[in-house]
Structure 1
Amino acid sequence: MAHKKAKNALLAAAFFMISVNSIMFFFPYIFEWVFQLDVGTTGLYMAITPVGMAVAAVLVAKVMEKVAAMPVMLGGMLGVTLAFAPITLALWPVHSLAM
């Protein structure tokens, strides 16, 4: 029972990290576009985001290893893909609006 609870907590943490990083990644673009100024935070966020992505990838890899007996490498790739998908989807329209 405790094992299942820990697994769910890991999964929740992974998705939390992914969503937080998605927001952090494209928020500066929106901010700069709305206020028509270069706040200079984009570089900072771009430096932070990969760290969060790495954490998310590791979490997803660990979860997948336990849940689906998936090799860590494959789970890590899935984690990175999951982390990138919402960011890419959110960033494209924002980026094209900002340009």
Structure 2
Amino acid sequence: MFIRWSASVLLALSLTACSVLQGTPQPPPPVSDHPQQIQRYQTQGLQRIGSASVIVRGAPSDGEAAIYNKAVAAGADFYVIVMNDETVVPGQWHVQATLYRDPGHVPFS
């Protein structure tokens, strides 16, 4: 009986913990003249234009800077970093991001 009750409580806590990791959908910030990093819950209404992936040596921020440069090159308005993880080689980082464009935005010329 106790095991069944414990399993039920553990399942309920696990399922409610998932909602903590997901934010309430919010609009992205206004488009600017450079790509902006946003969170996944801010992507509603945006057009996914691709993805970017880099492997860099240095710090995690070096990988984020490389992703920013790829977002600039792709003409993205926003990007979401979905992974920033150290590889098996110390000091080497693998970063992946999804690139987005605001469909109502006319790019600067």
TM-score with structure 2 setting the length: 0.28
CA radius of gyration, larger in: 2
Q: Which has the higher contact order (CA 8 A, sep 6+)?
A: 1
Larger fraction in strand:
2
TM-score with structure 1 setting the length: 0.30
Larger fraction in helix:
1
